[in-house]
Amino acid sequence: MTQKQDGAIGSALILREAMVRSRLAAGDAGTSYVASLAAKGRGKIAQKLGEEATETVIAALTEDDAALTGEAADLVFHLTVLLAERGIGWGAVAAELAKTTKVIHLEDIATTVGTGDKLRALFTAGKALEKRSPNDPAVVLFTSGSEGAPKGVVLSHRNFMANIAQIDARFDITPADVIFNVLPVFHSFGLLGGMLLPMLSGMKCYLYPSPLHYRQIPELVYGSNATVLFGTDTFFNGYARTANPYDFRSLRYLVGGAEPVKETTRKVYMEKFGLRILEGYGITETAPVLAVNTAMFNRNGTVGRLLPGIDYRLEQVPGITEGSRLHVKGPNVMMGYYRADKPGVLEPPHEGWHDTGDIVTVDPMTFVTIKGRAKRFAKIAGEMVSLAAIEQMCAPMWPENPPCVVAVPDARKGERLVMVTTKTDASRTEVQTFMKARGANELMFPSELLIVPALPLLGSGKTDYVELDRMVKAKITANAGAA
């Protein structure tokens, strides 16, 4: 079946779902018009899709409980799109809809607009429909849930505007810049950096629906003359494999975050494209940017200097000798959390300080180096071992299949490490040899290696460690039962 046929059947199933949602309790009282429309368009659909796919599409549209008997906002939209693609005009759709649903055309509304309506619009133009304060909530975003239950993060208008001002203070972005945003806008940086920043700074913005289209995105960056591109190490590697060296000719800033940027990635971009990746650091709770490297102040291996207006304090964590837990305070720090166990109750940060949960070091120039998440340390034989440090160390071993590490209970040592990878021929001996060559101590060696078809990912592209932990424990339990 061709891609076009697949797409048509998918559209039909979407339409089918919309009909079920739109149907009222009147049951069989309504008149089904979908079968009629499908019959009228059979010839045109068959011409475009082929007979086999046509039968599947029509079957998807005309199941017994697909009768429409009332309001159909979703249905009208999906049906119009689907049938327009098949060459069936709106006239046929409207005629059938009129049998069961009141159809209102915007052209008809225009004839009812009088002088009073026009004067009211003139005097209210440019005015807010409802008064708002800078400290009112602007959005509620949810944390990724990569290490626990997601929390609702309430961010105010002031939080966003402050973070944009902080970014403007470090980068010479102008209305002449073009941001190419591949990050989803439900992601905090996709929302602020990829959409709000260009909108409120007068820049052009190109929104693309998925960062995973490695072949198409470099061509679109070239075609749009983009000057700013955001992404992660994983995405940048994907683009580098398919991009022509000239595709990124217009880029001024290439900003990476969410995961450490590997040295091999930096080298590829410098040698192939002549570009330096500027690594940054942010969390949803700070709207989101906390620190970023710049062209003037850049240190590889760090996530840059803290932005202006951000205060920080470091809390020592027992057992962790290098790095401390980072707490931050500033105008971009959230209003508070909404938690699942207390719906609608805002939980503000204590005295304005937010605990990031990250273990970091901060030098006198406020360059931040992330050592790991506080939750992503294992206590093995009384020593604290960073799981993130092991993952970062082993990433160059299998660049195409970077491993993940989780900790599981161990009766003798308290906890032990399990490495998970998608590399089918991986071996624990290879891992130990690689880590020894890089000076790792024996506590960092994984006691077990699991090979899986795919690693669980969140919508943001990050590893879903909650699900990964469940997978590993289930696998270990199953293996123990089989033994």
Instruction: Tell me what the mean pLDDT of segment 26-38 comes to.
Output: 39
Instruction: Tell me what the mean pLDDT of segment 139-153 comes to.
Output: 76
Q: Answer yes or no: is pLDDT of 6 > 80.
A: no
ω into 211 cis (within 30 of 0): no
Q: Answer yes or no: is pLDDT of 69 > 70.
A: no
Instruction: Tell me what the mean pLDDT of segment 318-323 comes to.
Output: 76
**Right CATH for 137-373 from 3.40.50.300, 3.40.50.12780, 1.10.1240.10, 3.30.465.10:** 3.40.50.12780
Q: Give me the amino acid identity at 91.
A: G
What Rg, from alpha-carbon coordinates, does the chain have? 27
Which residue in this structure is represented by tokens 């902080």?
Answer: 166
pLDDT at 25 (0 to 100): 32
Q: How confident is the model at residue 145 (pLDDT cuts 50, 70, 90)?
A: low
For residues 58 and 473, give the distance between their C-alpha atoms in angstroms, rounded to a whole number: 45
Helix or strand or coil: residue 89?
coil
| Least confident window among 13-22, 197-206, 290-299, 324-333 | 13-22
For residues 181 and 191, give the distance between their C-alpha atoms in angstroms, rounded to a whole number: 9
Residues carrying CATH 3.30.300.30, the chain = 381-482
Neighbours of 425 (CB within 10 A): 8
* Planar angle of CA 167, 170, 176, nearest 5 degrees: 75
Instruction: Tell me what the mean pLDDT of segment 448-472 comes to.
Output: 81
| Least confident window among 98-107, 174-183, 319-328, 452-461 | 98-107
* Planar angle of CA 289, 307, 346, nearest 5 degrees: 50
Angle between the N-to-C axes of helices 233-242 and 216-224, in degrees from 0 to 180, rounded to the nearest 10: 90
Sheet containing strand 228-231, edge to edge, reads 204-207, 178-181, 228-231, 253-256, 277-282, 289-292, 305-306
Q: How confident is the model at residue 93 (pLDDT cuts 50, 70, 90)?
A: low
Pick from 95-104, 290-299, 312-321 the range whose average pLDDT is largest. 290-299
pLDDT at 115 (0 to 100): 86
Q: How far is CA 445 from CA 11, 415, 416, 442, 449, in A?
A: 50, 12, 9, 5, 10
Q: How confident is the model at residue 482 (pLDDT cuts 50, 70, 90)?
A: low
Cross-strand pairs, 359: 325, 372
pLDDT at 407 (0 to 100): 84
| Least confident window among 84-88, 270-274, 344-348 | 84-88
* φ, ψ of residue 402 in degrees (nearest 5): -60, 135
Say which residue, 472 or 248, is predicted with more confidence: 248
pLDDT at 119 (0 to 100): 86
Sheet containing strand 404-410, edge to edge, reads 404-410, 414-421, 448-451
Which residue in this structure is represented by tokens 């198409």?
Answer: 216
Q: Cα dihedral angle (108, 113, 114, 117), rounded to 10 degrees?
A: 170
Q: Answer yes or no: is pLDDT of 87 > 80.
A: no
The secondary structure element, H or E, covering residue 263 is helix 263-273
| Least confident window among 58-62, 284-288, 381-385 | 58-62
Helix or strand or coil: residue 157?
helix
Instruction: Tell me what the mean pLDDT of segment 459-468 comes to.
Output: 74
Q: Answer yes or no: is pLDDT of 125 > 70.
A: yes
pLDDT at 341 (0 to 100): 82
For residues 325 and 315, give the distance between their C-alpha atoms in angstroms, rounded to a whole number: 5
Instruction: Tell me what the mean pLDDT of segment 330-343 comes to.
Output: 90
| Least confident window among 70-79, 139-148, 266-275, 276-285 | 70-79
Q: How confident is the model at residue 478 (pLDDT cuts 50, 70, 90)?
A: confident
Q: Answer yes or no: is pLDDT of 14 > 50.
A: no
pLDDT tens profile 403-413? 888 888 877 77
On average, the pLDDT of the chain sits at 78
For residues 169 and 49, give the distance between their C-alpha atoms in angstroms, rounded to a whole number: 54
Say which residue, 346 or 92, is predicted with more confidence: 346
Q: Answer yes or no: is pLDDT of 425 > 50.
A: yes
* φ, ψ of residue 138 in degrees (nearest 5): -100, -45
- Whether 179 and 164 have beta carbons less than 8 Å apart is answered as no
**Residue 448: closest CA among 405, 483, 482:** 405
pLDDT at 9 (0 to 100): 45
pLDDT at 81 (0 to 100): 53
Q: Answer yes or no: is pLDDT of 100 > 60.
A: yes
For residues 58 and 37, give the distance between their C-alpha atoms in angstroms, rounded to a whole number: 10
* φ, ψ of residue 249 in degrees (nearest 5): -60, -30
Neighbours of 256 (CB within 10 A): 26
β-strand 324-329 against 311-315: which pairing, if any?
A: antiparallel
Q: How far is CA 151 from CA 180, 339, 345, 373, in A?
A: 29, 5, 12, 17
Cross-strand pairs, 339: 342
Say which residue, 210 or 13, is predicted with more confidence: 210
pLDDT at 259 (0 to 100): 80
Instruction: Tell me what the mean pLDDT of segment 271-280 comes to.
Output: 94
ω into 288 cis (within 30 of 0): yes
Residues carrying CATH 3.40.50.12780, the chain = 137-373
The percent of residues above 70 in pLDDT, for the chain, comes to: 76
For residues 37 and 282, give the distance between their C-alpha atoms in angstroms, rounded to a whole number: 51
For residues 267 and 271, give the distance between their C-alpha atoms in angstroms, rounded to a whole number: 6
pLDDT at 250 (0 to 100): 94
Burial 161-179 (b: 16+ CB within 10 A, else e): bbbbebbeebbebeeebbb
Token pair in block for residue 348: 């503000």
pLDDT at 438 (0 to 100): 86
- Whether 159 and 332 have beta carbons less than 8 Å apart is answered as yes
Token pair in block for residue 295: 């062209």
Helix or strand or coil: residue 279?
strand
pTM of the model: 0.63
pLDDT at 1 (0 to 100): 46
* 381-482 CATH fold: GMP Synthetase; Chain A, domain 3 (3.30.300)
pLDDT at 170 (0 to 100): 92
β-strand 404-410 against 414-421: which pairing, if any?
A: antiparallel
- Whether 408 and 472 have beta carbons less than 8 Å apart is answered as yes
Q: Give me the amino acid identity at 415.
A: E
- Whether 197 and 164 have beta carbons less than 8 Å apart is answered as yes
pLDDT tens profile 253-265? 999 988 888 888 9
